[in-house]
Amino acid sequence: MSSLQMHRITVRYGRFTAVRDVDLDVLDGTVTGLVGGSGSGKSTLGKAAVGLAPVASGQILVDGRPIGRRPGRGPVQLVFQDPYASLDPRMSIGAAVGEALPRTGRAARTREVARFLELVGIDPGRALLTPAALSGGQRQRVALARALAARPDVLIADEITSALDVSVQGAILNLLRGLQRELGFALLFISHNLAVVRYLADRVAVMDSGRVVESGPTYDVLERPHHELTKTLLSCVPTLEEAP
């Protein structure tokens, strides 16, 4: 059974339809890449899955059950593009991670915060620091730790490397890939970069003007694309081997 099932999802902002009748499944324990140009609706679809976008119609299920609509809670967690905006600047990074944990005693919470920080490569001794003391890559690691602390069935990563220096992008991608394999959650990876999606994803869906126009196993879609948008994206993005 699919971990995340999105059936005929439509998202509207007033009279503007950002996503129209989209079907998308993210299978248990796998990575699905969602790609498209700017304004294609891919980020809006990710926000819809966690209650941050107004779903006008359709159904969002996790293992066949409707999910709650409380942002920040539940079996689907979203890691945002901008690590500088996603963390409260007044809150220590340990408190940010601890906020996502189930209610428990102080000692147990401290141990769990340390465990999740270590999981993403952050020294637990830095738990009392605020985000201002961290680099962009370190902040994104903390954002990952906070999302994972909620023990999600599905993690949605929305362009999580695009705001980072090129020198740290690969480290974050490798971290995410390793965590997905180790913990076994389903991952929806949203990106405009098909080279990165080729590296991470088992399946790919391509969005254009609010619709999914092509989807399937990564190799099939990227080696034998049918839609013109997929062909255009492939022609514009270098492979990882060609990238500087």
pLDDT of residue 60: 94
3-state secondary structure of 72: coil
Confidence of residue 237 (pLDDT cuts 50, 70, 90): low
Residue 104: both structure tokens together = 């428990």
Kindly tell me if the per-residue pLDDT of 209 is higher than 80: yes
Residue 178: both structure tokens together = 């390793």
- 114-142 pLDDT per residue, tens: 999 999 999 999 999 999 999 999 999 99
Cβ within 8 Å of residue 26, ≥6 positions away: 2, 3, 4, 32, 154, 186, 187, 188
Q: Which is it for strands 154-158 and 186-191: parallel, antiparallel or unpaired? A: parallel
pLDDT of residue 77: 95
Cβ within 8 Å of residue 142, ≥6 positions away: 83, 87, 93, 96, 97, 117, 120, 122, 131, 134
- 43-90 pLDDT per residue, tens: 999 999 999 999 999 999 998 888 765 555 679 999 999 888 889 999
Residue 162, judged by CB atoms within 10 A of its CB (0-12, 13-18, 19+), counts as: middle
The pLDDT mean for the chain works out to 90
CA–CA separation, 120 and 231 (whole Å): 35
Kindly tell me if the per-residue pLDDT of 197 is higher than 50: yes
Kindly tell me if the per-residue pLDDT of 41 is higher than 80: yes
3-state secondary structure of 145: helix
